[in-house]
Amino acid sequence: MAIQKILTVLFLYLALAFLLVELTNAGGLQLGFYQRTCPGAELIVHQTLYRYISRDRTLAASLLRMHFHDCFIRGCDASVLISSTGNNQTEKDAIPNKTLRGFNVIDAVKSALEKKCPGVVSCADVLALVARGSVMMVGGPHWDVPTGTQRWKSVDCQRGFVQSTTSFRQHNCPETAICWRGHTIGIGHCTTISDRLYNFTGKGDTDPAMDPRYAAQLKKKCKPGNSKTVVAMDPGSFKSFDEDYYTVVAKRRGLFQSDAALLDDAETRDYVTTQSRTHGLTFALDFAESMVKLGNIGVLTGEQGEIRKRCAFVN
């Protein structure tokens, strides 16, 4: 499926993108799952997370992206948090995941939960709750997060690494429908847009879909071969979750090629222009609905998985 066809006008068919990587939707989750087994679990997540986001708001985008990358490969099982050991290379070390950050935040939240309720709250529930809390703390919408997953089965981590690399290559971008909206917050490395600026078709040219004036501004910051500099994905409000993203895209100033692709398809182009014209009239609701769909893909419940004591390691 081409990038241009991945999402529809209301982004209500998010699950279709995940069918390409053979994910399935599993039930068995429920709201308030930990009310009896770990009272106050969600409050602990919120309080611990706030200590980090209040010091560095850019972490919100990173933690949201981490949640997406986890769900994108085999479902929302927190396998992206597993560290490689010996000859077993995990998803965490796949090229698309090399720029993920915020693992220390997940570890801190999990540690706080383990002190209160040892062996109760799963790592993927932590990741899902952290993603929601991060978005809310920078002005984004609230959505319900059903919990109660084991969220990581003892399967071959090497296979996860291969799937991660292959799946992102198939989509030709590090994001799909849900994270395109998430581009309203966060930053991107110059290396990720180098081809758009300097060698789009292999002839030393610039992507014609990008506003030439915007391209010129980016070239001042991102010189060829620059691997250290970062640029805002939503200039002017990259630390706030708002509807400006669609205005930016409508002006052909989306940072990534996947952003520009939204204007190539009639349905997605109409959605972009509508949100830009109405100042994001349905933006928050649509995003929240998409996140609920995302969080329900490929989950493991009951005896299917395990509750890891440390999210980076199998028990």
Q: Looking at the annotation, which residues are catalytic?
A: 69
CB neighbours (10 Å) of residue 141? 16
Residue found under tokens 């030709």: 172
Q: Write the CB contacts of 98 (distance below 8 Å, at least 6 apart in sequence).
A: none
Q: Torsions phi, psi of 47, nearest 5?
A: -65, -40
Taking the C-alpha atoms of residue 28 and residue 37, their distance in angstroms, rounded to an integer, is 16
**Strand intervals (E) in 107-253:** 187-189, 230-232
Task: Give the HSE-up count for residue 92: Cα atoms under 13 Å, Cβ half-sphere.
Answer: 19
Closest CA to 66 of 313, 312, 243, 231: 312
Dist. CA 269–CA 33, nearest whole Å:
39
